[in-house]
């Protein structure tokens, strides 16, 4: 693995960094306070190609690979983690359709997700009774003569109120899970109120109810019964996204100490070292995925576990040691740090809690051995 970045990767990192610095960061506090879904920023990200970084160019993506995607998420997260998670889920949903969709499914959805016509896609896997135990879902899809009827409830769905397409997992038999592409405007879908969250208020998180929602035969994504492995594969990639987001939150918070000689550096030194270790792990997982490695679960989970844990320690340590001052600029930076503290916590929860990452790592060690 070569750790030097290609010109294209550097260009995408710069592009994302500049957008985060000029557009996201100056507005992050206000958008958080107003819990304003970032429609304009998402459209601008689409114009920059960042809503489909690892998507083929003929489908409107940048075709720039997984490392470029990771770099972009990190930079956008340093500007506003709420925008980054929305971008991450859109990229993840587009990639699932790209990998498992038929030509007509790809053409029908992906260009609209990469161009910004759809503000985002949603990944509807979790349910009120099955977050960590994804296979324990109760949503069902019953076969009809010309399609399927979906009934159930999904919980904590990112962008659920605004998405242009839902990926919905449902049981098609007691021991069989399948995946469906669902139009959010279909009859029988209702959207719950936005969840009251600790952080990332500008991202949208809602429950979705599916009450006898009819979808056509061609709504099935992948083959019948293939839903669970597709979810797990998507989450392996998604965990690289959240590891990258965690790096960006830590970077964004650490940037607040720049040119502040009064800030004690010693408490942060070991954490900075661990952050760089997490960055290398994240890039390695991204590199494995980019090489077409069929299974990189362990590396993705290790990266997500390490990056999200160190990110939380960094923001918390910065808060502990924040020097007293009454300057206005200092107060604004403190407000931004407090936002990073609140935004960071969920990186240890979504796309699999730290405990679930340990389960994935342990099972993979048993399956593949330690090498
Ligand atoms: N790739 C491909 N196939 C996989 C796979 C992978 N990474 N992991 C599992 N599978 C397939 C395999 O066929 C496997 O069988 P074998 O490996 O034995 O052949 C089969 O699925 C069943 O796997 P498990 O027995 O490991 O399944 P399990 O029911 O015990 O669950 C789990 C495993 C890891 C706990 C899983 O339930 C899990 O990942 N839970 C966490 C769910 C999660 O991360 N949710 C996040 C929601 S999305 C989100 O948060 C987005 C957002 O808003 C930001």
CA–centroid distance, 133 to ligand 1, in Å, is: 8
The answer to whether residue 58 is catalytic is: no
| pLDDT tops 80 at residue 305 | yes
Is the Cβ–Cβ distance between 128 and 162 less than 8 Å? Answer: no
Q: In CATH, what number does 122-219 get?
A: 2.40.110.10
Q: Where are the domains of the chain?
A: 7-119, 122-219, 227-368
pLDDT at 34: 97
* Tens of pLDDT, residues 94-129: 999 999 999 999 999 999 999 999 999 999 999 999
Report the candidate in 217, 125, 225, 211 with the shortest Cα–Cα distance to residue 172.
Answer: 225
The domain over range 7-119 is classified in CATH as 1.10.540.10: yes
- Ligand 1, residues 123, 126, 232, 344: which to mutate, most atoms within 8 A of Cβ? 232
Q: What is the DSSP letter of 220?
A: B
* Tens of pLDDT, residues 80-93: 999 999 999 999 99
| pLDDT tops 80 at residue 261 | yes
Q: Report the distance separating Cα 184 and Cα 164, nearest Å.
A: 6
Mean pLDDT, range 59-79, rounded to an integer: 98
CA–centroid distance, 288 to ligand 1, in Å, is: 19
For 227-368, CATH number out of 3.80.10.10, 1.20.140.10, 3.40.50.740, 2.60.40.10 equals 1.20.140.10
CA–centroid distance, 248 to ligand 1, in Å, is: 26
Q: Report the distance separating Cα 321 and Cα 334, nearest Å.
A: 11
Report whether residue 125 contacts ligand 1, using a CB cutoff of 6 Å.
yes
CA–centroid distance, 4 to ligand 1, in Å, is: 32
Report whether residue 233 contacts ligand 1, using a CB cutoff of 6 Å.
yes
- Ligand 1, residues 235, 237, 293, 294: which to mutate, most atoms within 8 A of Cβ? 235
Bridge partners of 166? Answer: 122, 182
Q: Could you give the count of Cα atoms lying within 13 Å of 246 in the half-sphere of its Cβ?
A: 36
CA–chain centroid gap for 14, Å, is 20
Rounded to two decimals, the pTM is 0.97
* Tens of pLDDT, residues 144-199: 999 999 999 999 999 999 999 999 999 999 999 999 999 999 999 999 999 999 99
- Ligand 1, residues 352, 362, 365: which to mutate, most atoms within 8 A of Cβ? 352
Q: What is the DSSP letter of 347?
A: G
* Tens of pLDDT, residues 318-362: 999 988 876 767 889 999 999 999 999 999 999 999 999 999 999
Pair of tokens at residue 36: 């304003």
| pLDDT tops 90 at residue 283 | yes
Helix axes 269-290, 297-320, angle to 10 degrees: 150
């Amino acid at each position: 693995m070569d750790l030097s970045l290609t010109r294209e990767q550097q260009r995408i990192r710069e592009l994302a960094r500049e957008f985060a610095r000029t557009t996201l960061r100056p507005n992050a506090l206000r958008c958080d306070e107003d819990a304003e879904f970032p429609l304009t920023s998402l459209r601008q990200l689409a114009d920059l190609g960042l809503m489909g970084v690892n998507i083929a160019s003929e489908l409107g993506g940048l075709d720039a690979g997984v490392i470029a995607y990771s770099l972009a998420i990190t930079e956008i997260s340093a500007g506003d983690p709420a925008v980054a998670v929305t971008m991450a889920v859109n990229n993840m949903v587009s990639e699932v359709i790209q990998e498992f969709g038929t030509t007509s499914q790809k053409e029908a959805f992906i260009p609209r997700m990469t161009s910004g016509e759809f503000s985002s896609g949603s990944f509807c896997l979790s349910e009120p009774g099955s977050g960590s135990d994804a296979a324990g879902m109760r949503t069902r899809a019953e076969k009809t003569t010309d399609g399927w009827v979906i009934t159930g409830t999904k919980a904590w769905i990112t962008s659920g109120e605004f998405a242009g397409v839902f990926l919905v997992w449902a049981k098609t038999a007691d021991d069989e899970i399948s995946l469906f592409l669902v139009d959010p405007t279909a009859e029988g879908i209702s959207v719950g109120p936005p969840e009251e969250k600790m952080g990332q208020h500008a991202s949208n998180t809602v429950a979705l109810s599916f009450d006898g929602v009819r979808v056509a035969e061609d709504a099935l994504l992948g083959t019948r019964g293939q839903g669970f492995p597709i979810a797990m594969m998507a989450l392996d990639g998604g965990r690289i996204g959240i590891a990258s987001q965690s790096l960006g939150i830590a970077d964004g918070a650490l940037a607040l100490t720049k040119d502040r000689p009064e800030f004690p550096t010693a408490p942060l030194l070991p954490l900075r070292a661990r952050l760089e270790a997490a960055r290398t792990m994240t890039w390695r997982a991204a590199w494995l995925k980019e090489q077409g490695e069929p299974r990189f679960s362990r590396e993705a989970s290790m990266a997500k576990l390490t990056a999200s844990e160190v990110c939380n320690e960094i923001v918390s340590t910065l808060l502990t040691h924040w020097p007293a001052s009454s300057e206005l600029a200092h107060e604004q930076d403190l407000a931004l740090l407090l936002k990073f503290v609140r935004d960071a916590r969920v990186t240890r929860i979504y796309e699999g809690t730290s405990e679930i990452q340990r389960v994935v790592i342990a099972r993979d060690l048993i399956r593949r051995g330690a090498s």
